[in-house]
Structure 1
């Protein structure tokens, strides 16, 4: 499947062109959405939306696939799914549904966002979803780059590093749902897809966007090919983003999107967005379900700073000894920024999974977090901080959030967001992101403090 571009004599990459259709205009006369993004969880989608908003694009994040058209001034739409750990077939179905909606909004280019630690299993879902979207768009070379240097994620010689450690030695090897025990992204992706997997090494990336574009062109010469691209510095991501200006599909972490707004600005498609953020006053609370090293450290710092904390034990949750009502009652009786967490050490988590079953424990805790988030907001909480991709997905679902306005950055990769039409501000943090004092800092930023 390929697309003919009426605006060019030939396509820069086989089977690809971002001028697939004339831009759609809304009744108000403005261009419709330019960049369409699909995120496999809510925190990662917020991370991407943050990058695009900082780049000057008018960005809205949607919770699931919208049923109507986007507002006429939205330049980048991010459809946040909860598809990272669901069955492969369902993840593909949801992602293609999101793609169809984004195409209906007139998008010129598409982005599949996954975690900067490439969270997946040997079955998927990164490879199968990426392949399905690529085939639907008739893509040739498809960039695969989870690098995010600002948070210590780099790709060198096809291997993913977290700070100075290989991914497989970073703590991600102990993840309860998507343990990452291989740092070679070429091998990881090859186990997930039948499409060829290629690599643009750092020696090529360092030469700049023209060299990267040549490598991509060569990789995609015979049809669909996933291309792992190295990136150690933000400059590498900018160069790769610029080289991808004519690709229909890009995949990766939010870092690879750094150069995309500049591409659209150079074409005169966007200006410089200056959206005004106003915080939300009122009480704050925090929920943490991630077992990452960063989140567990943040929980300890928050507790040591004098904020009240409540640990959710898996056995107590499975036995029904804690409920959304009892947790809400506890929060309302506290001062400061009360935190409810289930971020136990890996050994404790593994033991609980052995007793009750991995999926049963994860589902029970997510449902409890969803119900608790709804109960807290019903009780008057207006600022809610969430840590962990699955937890944040549960929170957004429990709150029945439809779309989010993107606010200022709290820490690299984590923006403050405001629920459209409601006096409710959220911080949705990936487990591995954020400074040690994240919970208190996020609550303050949601309230409008610098």
Structure 2
């Protein structure tokens, strides 16, 4: 009988899904990220897992689309008899009632678990995300100034899901979670016994939709994980939030879940790339723009976003040829959809169409030029880019720093199997992350 995973998680975009994959692997857990809900044969091929991930794109979907997307995830969780179902959100919680609704995801998945309430973890300190008395704060890049989320220079004016409400209880109420109760960081700071007592009081009648756990520092995750893991042993639990959910649970799962019988899942450092490296950067956040400016080892190709977004075969092929030419000469290429100073996605440009076209172009480039290492920047661009490849899974290779992971592609296509890929959200990564992808580091 196949050993059951303890945690099944669904990532609402691919960059976040790889961050959770890395979190699990660095904790010594056997983890694999599938690019679609796996069938029994694929699960058997994967072998024993502690953490099973599914990468998706619910962050860019309507509630109806999300319900369709998440139905097989709920069914898989029930069939595996895992203990925790984790809906992995962005650490900035950017979402809206009409697109990427966390409330819609919770409602779609709640029937799959036994506990009638949902645990929401509101911070991820290693990425500069903190929740205090239910209010979310986030750094504007690695090591940068921390802002209340409604004053964040990027997330407050996100083109699709602007974060204009810092109180996550009110933010989620707009998405249909009417009764989200706050578990202040002062409870977790007193340890797991005090936190469990406070949780029992918070769950006292009438029943809550959810309990939001503050996180003011990384040490509080240990108490949160202990309380949630203990409860999950008695009855299965739905948890929502960033990778800190798996971080917290991994501390409580004990040595029996550590990967001791197989080769290490993570390695120290990254060797230099063998051959040319391609990075595809979607619509640029200020963080990614600084990373592009610091990428001195690349030929930079400014793609025509308007042409790409039309998704015509000729337009995609034309833009791909610009990239293929430099790669064929052995040059590293950074392909960007927006030049510095340009208005983000202006002129009525369809962001989703552009992201899908980026995936089409990436597949065309890889079919023409064999590469062994690539990077993709941007949540939607990463999701559609990986979906365009003939691959079925990702495993963790190494930490690239500040919420970015280098992963190995698993594919039945020998030309793609073993490809190393880094997926990077707009707010993630150190300033030299693209240079590190080329030159490696110890």
Which category of TM-score, normalised to the shorter sequence, fits these structures?
Answer: 0.7 to 0.9
Equivalent position to 1:98, from 73, 78, 84: 73
Q: CA deviation at 1:99?
A: 2.2
CA contact (8 A) 1:141 1:226 kept: yes
Q: CA deviation at 1:57?
A: 0.5
Q: Distance in 1 between matches of 2:251 and 2:101?
A: 30
Q: Which residue of 1 aligns with 2:305?
A: 314
Q: Distance in 1 between matches of 2:423 and 2:158?
A: 19
Q: How does 1:289-328 map to 2 (within 5 A)?
A: 289-302=282-295, 305-318=296-309, 322-324=315-317, 325-328=320-323
Q: Which residue of 1 aligns with 2:360?
A: 371
Unaligned runs of 5+ in 1: 1-24
- Kindly provide the CA deviation profile for residues 252-289 of structure 1, in whole angstroms up to 9, marking residues without a partner as x: 100232131232225x3444462365977332100111
Unaligned runs of 5+ in 2: 140-145, 412-416
Q: Distance in 2 between matches of 1:346 and 1:300?
A: 12
Q: How does 1:23-422 map to 2 (within 5 A)?
A: 25-26=1-2, 31-69=3-41, 70=43, 71-123=46-98, 124-163=100-139, 164-170=146-152, 171-222=154-205, 223-245=207-229, 246-247=231-232, 248-265=237-254, 268-272=256-260, 274-275=264-265, 281-302=274-295, 305-318=296-309, 322-324=315-317, 325-332=320-327, 335-343=330-338, 348-349=343-344, 351-353=346-348, 356=349, 361-378=350-367, 379-421=369-411, 422=417
TM-score normalized by the length of structure 2: 0.86
Q: Distance in 2 between matches of 1:368 and 1:415?
A: 24
CA contact (8 A) 1:111 1:251 kept: yes
Q: Distance in 2 between matches of 1:250 and 1:416?
A: 26
CA contact (8 A) 2:308 2:354 kept: yes
Q: Distance in 1 between matches of 2:315 and 2:366?
A: 18
Q: CA deviation at 1:129?
A: 0.5
Q: Distance in 1 between matches of 2:437 and 2:74?
A: 32
Q: Distance in 2 between matches of 1:51 and 1:417?
A: 12
Q: Distance in 1 between matches of 2:404 and 2:195?
A: 29
CA contact (8 A) 2:85 2:113 kept: no
Q: Distance in 1 between matches of 2:308 and 2:386?
A: 20
Q: Distance in 2 between matches of 1:331 and 1:375?
A: 15
- Kindly provide the CA deviation profile for residues 279-305 of structure 1, in whole angstroms up to 9, marking residues without a partner as x: 773321001114322111111211xx2
Q: Secondary structure at the match of 1:133?
A: helix
Are the structure 2 counterparts of residues 311 and 99 from structure 1 closer, same or farther at C-alpha, using a change threshold of 3 Å? same
Q: Distance in 2 between matches of 1:114 and 1:368?
A: 24
CA contact (8 A) 1:140 1:220 kept: no
Please, what is the CA RMSD of the aligned residues?
Answer: 2.3
Q: CA deviation at 1:322?
A: 4.5
Q: Secondary structure at the match of 1:433?
A: coil
Q: Distance in 2 between matches of 1:79 and 1:157?
A: 31
- Kindly provide the CA deviation profile for residues 161-201 of structure 1, in whole angstroms up to 9, marking residues without a partner as x: 11221111211122222211111111100111144111011
CA contact (8 A) 1:328 1:372 kept: no
CA contact (8 A) 2:4 2:81 kept: yes
Q: Distance in 1 between matches of 2:259 and 2:354?
A: 43
- Kindly provide the CA deviation profile for residues 394-424 of structure 1, in whole angstroms up to 9, marking residues without a partner as x: 1111112211111111113221100125131
Are the structure 2 counterparts of residues 75 and 306 from structure 1 closer, same or farther at C-alpha, using a change threshold of 3 Å? closer
Q: Distance in 2 between matches of 1:74 and 1:402?
A: 16
Q: CA deviation at 1:250?
A: 1.6
Aligned residue pairs, count: 410
CA contact (8 A) 1:385 1:443 kept: no
CA contact (8 A) 1:238 1:256 kept: no
Q: Distance in 1 between matches of 2:37 and 2:430?
A: 32
56-65 or 275-284, which moves further after superposition?
A: 275-284
